[in-house]
Amino acid sequence: MIAPTDIPSRTNPQETFVLNLGPQHPAAHGVLRIKMTMDGEYVTRAEPIPGYIHRMHEKMGENRTWTQFLPNTGRIDYLSALHYNHAFVGAVERAARIEVPPRAEYIRVITSELNRISSHLVWWSAYLLDLGGFTPLLYAFADREKILDLLEAITGSRLTYCYFRFGGLCNDIDDAFIQGTRAFVAQMRPRLKMYRDLVTDNIILRKRLEGIGPISAELCRKYGATGPVLRGAGIAYDVRKVEPYSVYSQLDFHIPVFPEGDSMARYRVRMAEMEQSLRIIEQALDKLPAGPVMGKVPRVLRLPAGDYCYAVEAARGRHMVRVVSDNKDIPYRVKLRTPSFSNLSLYEEASKGMMLPDALALLGSLDLVIPDIDR
C-alpha cells in the first residue's frame, strides 16, 4: 500500500520520527539495523546499517593457506554452508586444474540441494514468525531436522559444514545416507502439499503478501539482486542453468519464475524451488556413479598466478568467489560476492512509502542472512 503523496507532513521534517529497527530487535533477523524515518505508519526512508557482525572473512583469506580458508566458507551464510564450500573449492579447482571424480560431483549436488531445502525451510518458518504465525515453524523444523540428521551423519556437523575438499569430498556417503535421502524425498512431497494447504492458500497470508512490496526486474538489475528475489520478478536467472557448474547440466529440472514481483511471488518461488530440489536429488541418486570421491591433488597447493572466478546458485542467489593468486601458497585476494548484500541494497528504494508491517513483510521476503551481508 503506497501512502498518498499529497499529505503535507511528508515534506515537513518536523512531522517525521526515526524508528530504530535493530540491531537487537525481535522482528529483525540477526543483527541487522535499519534506521527508519517514519511518517506515522508510513516509511519515508529505510536506511540499512550493516556491519555489526563483520568478521573480515575476505582479509582472513589473505593470511592463511588455500586449505585453511575452507572452514571459513561454511560460516559466511551459515544456512547454506555447502553452496559456499562449493564456490570456493570450485574456484581453486578451476585455477589449479584439479579434476573432480564424477561421484564426488553428484554427491556435491545431492548434499547442496538438501542444504537448499533446509535453508528454505528456515526462511519459511522465520518469515511466518515475522508475519505472526508460530505453528508452521514447528512443522518446518521437524522436516529440517531430518535433513540435518542426514547431513550430520556424513559431514559430522549440523550447520557449518566443511565437507567439500579441493578435488572431491572429505569422505564418501554410505548406503544409510542414500536410503535415508530417498525416504526423505518420499516424505517431503506430501509435506509440501500440506504446507500449501496450511499456509500458502491461507487467506490471511495471501492478504498480507499479495501485491505487497513490489520489486521490478529493473530494480533487481539496478542493485544486482539475484536468486528468488529476481525470479519472483519474472526473470529466469539461475546460475545452475545459465552457467551450469558441477553436473547440473546433466539433470532435468526447471527454474520456477513468478512475474508478479510482490512478496507472494518470492514466497512461491521458494516453495516451488523445494519441489525442484527434490527432483534433482532423486535424479542424482539414480545416476550416482561408483568410484573414488577424491581426485589427484598436489600435496602442497600452489595456484598458478592469475585471477579466477566461480559462481554457484546459493539458496539466496548468486554467490561468486573470486580468487587472485600470485603463485604462493597463500591467496593474494579472496573476494566474496554474496547475494544477501545485493538483495538488501534494494530495500531502501523498494520500501519507500510502505506501511511499517508491509515493509517488514518485504524485508522478510528478501530472505536475508546477516553474516552473509557483513561477512
Q: Whose grid coordinates read 514468525? A: 129
Cα gap 192→170, rounded to integer Å: 32
Name which of residues 197 to 226 contact another protein (CB under 8 A). 197-199, 201-204
Number of Cα atoms under 13 Å in the Cβ half of residue 3? 23
Binding mask 84-123 for another protein (x = CB under 8 A): ----------------------------------------
Binding of another protein at residue 295 (CB under 8 A)? no
Which of 23, 30, 40, 71 binds another protein (CB under 8 A)? It is 71
Binding of another protein at residue 16 (CB under 8 A)? no
Number of Cα atoms under 13 Å in the Cβ half of residue 181? 32
Find the radius of gyration of the CA atoms of the chain. Answer: 21
Cα gap 317→215, rounded to integer Å: 16
Binding of another protein at residue 300 (CB under 8 A)? no
Binding of another protein at residue 142 (CB under 8 A)? yes
- Report the nearest approach of another protein to the CB of residue 69 (Å): 7
Binding of another protein at residue 157 (CB under 8 A)? yes
- Report the nearest approach of another protein to the CB of residue 250 (Å): 28
**Which among 34-42, 195-203, 248-256, 341-349 is the span making contact with another protein, rule CB under 8 A?**
195-203
- Dihedral (CA of 356, 358, 360, 366) sign: negative
Binding of another protein at residue 68 (CB under 8 A)? yes
Residue 253: count other Cβ atoms within 10 Å of its Cβ.
18
Cα gap 103→124, rounded to integer Å: 32
C-alpha cell at 328: 604462493
- Report the nearest approach of another protein to the CB of residue 342 (Å): 27
Binding of another protein at residue 171 (CB under 8 A)? yes
Which of 35, 75, 94, 279 binds another protein (CB under 8 A)? It is 75
Cα gap 373→314, rounded to integer Å: 14
Nearer to another protein, 184 or 245 (CB): 184
Whether 92 and 98 have beta carbons less than 8 Å apart is answered as yes
Of 48, 7, 56, 9, residue with least CA distance to 29: 48
Cα gap 150→180, rounded to integer Å: 7
Number of Cα atoms under 13 Å in the Cβ half of residue 257? 14
- Report the nearest approach of another protein to the CB of residue 83 (Å): 17
Nearer to another protein, 97 or 299 (CB): 299
**Which among 65-73, 271-279, 342-350, 363-371 is the span making contact with another protein, rule CB under 8 A?**
65-73
Which of 3, 170, 288, 330 binds another protein (CB under 8 A)? It is 170
Where on the chain is the footprint of another protein (CB under 8 A)? 64, 67-72, 75, 135, 142, 149, 152-157, 160, 162, 170-171, 194, 197-199, 201-204
